[in-house]
Structure formats: structure tokens, C-alpha cells
Amino acid sequence: MQRRDFFKTLGTAAVVGATIPVMSFAAETKKKGPNAFTYEQALDVITGGKKPVKSDKVHLKVPEIAENGAVVPVTVEVDSPMTDSDYVKAIHIFATKNNNVRCIDANLTPANGKAMLSTRVKLGGTQDVAALIELSNGEFLIAAQSVKVTIGGCG
Amino acid sequence: MEERKSLIKIKPKSYKDGEIVKVNFMVMHPMETGMRKDKKTKELVPANYVNSIKFVYNGKTITNMTVWESVSANPVFTTYMKIEGQGDLTVTYTDSTGEVHEQSIKIKPKG
Amino acid sequence: MNKIIKIALSVAVLSSLSFCDDQFSMSDKDRAMYAEMLDNNPADMTVASGEELLSYMGGPAGLAKYLGVSEEKLPEYIAGFPRYIKKFDMVVGLDQVLQAMMHDGGHKPLELKSGNMFEMLTYVKSLANDVPINIDVNANQQMKDAYALGEKTFNTKRGGRGLSCLSCHSPDVIGSVLRTQPLPDLGVNNSGGTWPAYRMTKSSVSTLQKRFQGCMKNALLAVIPLGSKEMVGLEVFVTDKAKGKPIAIPGLKR
């Protein structure tokens, strides 16, 4: 039997195996940690209820598939002149389904020269990563992207 | 107080006045969420994470960050800054147990 | 009972292997994003610590003197490890050289598995960055023997599941995806030139030999001690696969 055929016969088992690597944490994150904070709460606290606008000025870079939920690279860049009259005041990064969705709140100034923030976050499972931007004119921009978290590899 | 390793890196290594450069700050810190159980003792490991970082360049705060436990262990933070003359860049960070640390480098633009 | 578990495990392994072709392997774009993280490797701090530790023994100049090479030739010399050293009459890794150097300098040698030793080893190997690996497995009988022992260790099936290193790293299976990770070709992947590395899953720096141990542990093989003949042989064998590839320390691994 060819290897390929052999695997085909294992089709059913394969599907079962396939669902295992992708963690679905939604059902498991019932236990609330000390800093539990939802995405809606977090947005509200920062924007004061103002609705953020989706914008292509916000470049959120995350992997589609994270090879390890403990270290997921996130980079946010915003098109902005970063002058005293027009700059990005803050970049917030959220892991929308973590116990505490807040990852980092960075307050920027025109002295940054460029509006960019990059770090690595832990994701407790497949979820959206979101970036909320506060502009100096009081407007809020937002971008979000889904990251599939896998338990991969061998140890 | 435990001695923690930290590092500030400027990219590119050589830069001119007025240039906008990348600033990387990294620190060896466990970033414990308080929700992880110790494998041996089965007890919860107490929360301990970097919760604030401030970048000060020649006395002026460029960026300050509030950081939460969802940031990875041994975290790395990258942002930009505009070079405006010689001086010091000082990064001060605190963690949720109250530790405060400071790390500085000299900013020396060429030309 | 045990048997059932074993069978269940092999089915699990097979099924994830079979699956992996497309959907769950990462895209090149994702991989590029992970590769970019090398720029900000937490292990850069490890290198800095190792530099400080070696400075207590005279820094790179002290090491070069101990090894009997000029300081200019030191990087090239480091890029040829593990090597046979007459003084010890055996094939050794850089960490063992550091141990001997500590001993001869009147210090208590650090254990091979100690964090400080990993720091020093990472720093010392980084001195050879960009230099192509130049290990010579035919340099002498001792190196030939070490290579042969390494090859044997690599190929020998052991443990409860009868696995060998070759089970996952033979040309037949290289490239198959096991639980989202392509099984790497250790030569193409430059394992010899990219360890010690920061392991993101462990949030710490590990060495090539320590990684071998992790692999053995997970595959249910009895773990071979660091610095043993078999372990050094394994390092010789795997490093030789990446001969000619530039050293790039510290590495950054999943």
C-alpha cells in the first residue's frame, strides 16, 4: 500500500487528530484571574464609550498561525506625521479572549518620530488580537486580526 | 531584590542627529500571570509581571507603557525615537511586586 | 494496558503526521515574521552575561591563550568544535574546554548543565559568528571515532517506542509536518550553527546537547548525559551536517 493511501484510510482518525492541535479555549477560560477584564470593558474605559473607527492607517501585524501561544509577535504601525499638532497619542494591544484582554498600553509622543509598537504576547487560545489607536485629535482607530494558536512540535 | 538582566539596543548602531531610530528594550523577567500552577507543588505561582516602562531621553519622557501579564516571559518592547543630540536614554521599569530597575545608554549621534 | 496506550500514541502520531500537509502548516509570511524576531532575541542578554563571566578568566584573549591559538584565529578555531584536543586526549565541546580552563585557573568548574555555563558557551560560540562551520571529522582517528559513535547514537532505536533520532530526521520524513511543525533537516536548518538558542516554548536558552536531551526525554529514550562520549559524538555528527554554514549565535527557536 502506498503511504498516501494508507493515510487516506486513516482519514477519520486524521480529522480527530487535526482538531487536537488547535486549542479551543473559549470553554475552558471560566476561571477568572485577579486581573480579569473583558474586551468590551477595556475599549469602554479607554474610549469613554466613543466608537473606534476601522482604518487602513493602522497596520497590525500578527501571524495567522502562531506556532506557540506563549510567544506571539505583535507589531502595530500607524501612518501618522507624528508632529505636535497631529500624532498618535496611544497604542493599545488586546488579546480579545485572554482572561485579562489588556496586553500593553503605550503612550507615545511626537518625539517618537514614528508611531510603532512591537512586542510579544501570550495567547490562551485561538482569538482576535486587536490594536486600538488614540489620535491627538481625540479620535480612535481600530484594527483586529485572528490568530490561530496551535500546540505544535515535539517538546 | 533580584538582579535582573536587561538590555537597550538602538538600530541602526550608527545614526545621525535628527534620524529616527528603533529602540529595543528587553528584560529577563518571568511575567507570571498568577494563574499558572507550579508543576511540582501544584500551587499557584504568584503573579509577578513588569507593569510599567518609561523611556526618558535627556530628561524628556518619550514613551511610557502600562504592561499587563499577557505579555510574554522575557519580554521585548520596540518603538522608535527621534535622535536630538547627545545624551542619555534611560529606561525605568517596575514590576507588580514593586521592584524598580533602571538601565541607561549613551546616545551619540555621528554628524 | 501499557500496550494499548502505546498503540493509541502511535495512532495519534500517525494521524497528525498524515494531516499536516496544508491547513495547519504555517505560511511563509508567518515564518518571516518569526524570523524577524531574531533581531530582538532575549538571548542577547545571555550573550552579555557570558561575556562578563568570561572576562573573569581573561576574556577571548584568555581563552585563545588557553587553547594555544592567536586571538585573530580564535573565531575560526571555535567554528571547528567539537574537536580533539591533545591536552585532554579526547574530543570535547566548547563547554568542556571552559570547564578545564576554570579548573586550571584555580576556579571551581561550573557544571555543564548550569545556567552560567550556558551563558558562557553562548557567548564563546558567538565569537565565531558569520564564520562557516569547519569541523573536520577526518582530522584524526579520535574525530573519526567520535563521528562514528555519533552516527550510531543517531541511528540506534531505543526506548519504549523504539525511536531513534533518525525516526524523525531521516530524508524519508524530513519536511513532513508533525503537529504544525515541519520535521527539520538538521543540516539545512544549520542546527550546528544556531545552538545555543533561545527556546520560546521554554522561555530560556538551551544548548544543542540539552536539546538532544529534551528530544530523548519526549521520545521516551533514556537520556544521555551532557558531555558524555555519546553526546559529544552526537554533536559532532549533527554539526558536520551543517559544515560550511555560518555560525549565527544566539539562535531563536520555537
The chain A residues in contact with chain C (CB within 8 A) are 7, 10, 13-18, 20-22, 61-65, 67-68, 70-71, 73, 120, 150-155
CA C86 to chain centre: 23
Tell me which chain A residue has its CA closest to the CA of residue C19: A14
Q: Long-range contacts: C12-16, Cβ < 8 Å, 24+?
A: C12/A17, C12/A20, C13/C178, C14/A7, C14/A10, C14/A13, C15/A10, C15/A13, C15/A14, C15/A16, C15/A17, C15/A18, C16/A14, C16/A17, C16/A18, C16/A20, C16/A21, C16/C178, C16/C179
The chain B residues in contact with chain A (CB within 8 A) are 20, 31, 33-35, 47, 57, 60-73, 75-82, 84
Q: Which residues are registered as beta bridge partners of B103?
A: B91
**Among the partner residues A16, A61, A65, nearest to C180 by beta-carbon distance:** A65
Q: What ranges make up the beta strands (E) of C25-180?
A: 83-85, 90-92, 177-178
The side-by-side arrangement of strands in the sheet containing C204-206 is C204-206, C197-199, C251-253
B30 touches chain C (CB under 8 A): yes
**Among the partner residues B11, B26, B78, nearest to C42 by beta-carbon distance:** B26
Q: Are B49 and B32 in contact (CB under 8 A)?
A: yes
Write the ipTM: 0.94
CATH for A3-149 (2.60.40.2470, 3.20.20.140, 3.40.50.2300, 3.30.465.10): 2.60.40.2470
pLDDT the model gives residue C105:
93
B26 touches chain C (CB under 8 A): yes
Query: What is the DSSP-derived secondary structure letter of residue A50?
Result: P
Q: What ranges make up the beta strands (E) of chain A?
A: 53-54, 58-61, 65-66, 72-78, 88-95, 102-107, 115-121, 127-135, 140-149
Tell me which chain C residue has its CA closest to the CA of residue A71: C200
Q: How far is C173 from chain B (nearest CA, A)?
A: 33
Q: Is the dihedral of CA C45, C236, C223, C213 positive or negative?
A: positive
User: Three-class SS of residue A31?
Assistant: coil
For the cut 50, the answer to whether the pLDDT of residue A70 exceeds it is yes
For the cut 50, the answer to whether the pLDDT of residue B37 exceeds it is yes
Q: What is the mean pLDDT of residues C23-37?
A: 80
End-to-end Cα spacing for chain A:
32
Q: Are B89 and A128 in contact (CB under 8 A)?
A: no
Rg from Cα positions in chain C: 19
Please, what is the Cα angle at A108 between A105 and A114, to 5 degrees? 120
**Among the partner residues B47, B64, B75, nearest to A120 by beta-carbon distance:** B75
- Non-local CB neighbours of C213 within 8 Å, separated by 6+ positions: C223, C224, C226
Q: What is the mean pLDDT of residues A5-34?
A: 44
**Among the partner residues A31, A75, A119, nearest to B71 by beta-carbon distance:** A119
Residue pairs spanning A and B at CB distance below 8 A:
101
Residue C26's pLDDT band (cuts 50, 70, 90): confident
Query: Which CATH number goes with the domain that contains C148?
Result: 1.10.760.10
Q: Give the cell for residue B22.
A: 528603533
Cα(B64)–Cα(B56) distance, integer angstroms: 9
**Among the partner residues A95, A101, A106, nearest to B63 by beta-carbon distance:** A106
**Run of H or E residues at C197:** strand C197-199
B72 touches chain C (CB under 8 A): yes
Q: Are C193 and C245 in contact (CB under 8 A)?
A: yes
pLDDT in tens, C68-127: 999 999 999 999 999 999 999 999 999 999 999 999 999 999 999 999 999 999 999 999
CB neighbourhood size of B11 (10 A): 13
Instruction: Report the number of distinct structural domains present in chain C.
Output: 1
Inter-chain residue contact B71 with A72, CB threshold 8 Å:
no
Q: How far is A104 from chain B (nearest CA, A)?
A: 5
Tell me which chain B residue has its CA closest to the CA of residue C44: B7
Q: What is the mean pLDDT of residues B21-37?
A: 94
**Pick from B31, B83, B19: nearest CA to B57:** B83
Residue C56's pLDDT band (cuts 50, 70, 90): very high
End-to-end Cα spacing for chain B:
41
Inter-chain residue contact B72 with A71, CB threshold 8 Å:
yes
Q: What is the mean pLDDT of residues C155-177?
A: 91
CB neighbourhood size of A151 (10 A): 14
C42 touches chain B (CB under 8 A): yes
Q: Are C197 and C205 in contact (CB under 8 A)?
A: yes
For the cut 70, the answer to whether the pLDDT of residue C14 exceeds it is no
pLDDT in tens, C168-203: 999 888 888 877 778 889 999 999 999 999 999 999
What residues does each domain of chain B span? Answer: 6-107
Tell me which chain A residue has its CA closest to the CA of residue C178: A153
For the cut 50, the answer to whether the pLDDT of residue C17 exceeds it is no
pLDDT the model gives residue B30:
95
Residue A155's pLDDT band (cuts 50, 70, 90): low
For the cut 70, the answer to whether the pLDDT of residue C25 exceeds it is no
Q: Are C23 and A14 in contact (CB under 8 A)?
A: no
Given this structure, which CATH class describes domain B6-107?
A: mainly beta
Alpha-carbon distances of C94 from B89, C78, C126, C186, C189, rounded to whole Å: 37, 8, 12, 20, 21
Q: Are B64 and B80 in contact (CB under 8 A)?
A: no
Question: Which structural domain range is residue C63 located in?
Answer: 2-253
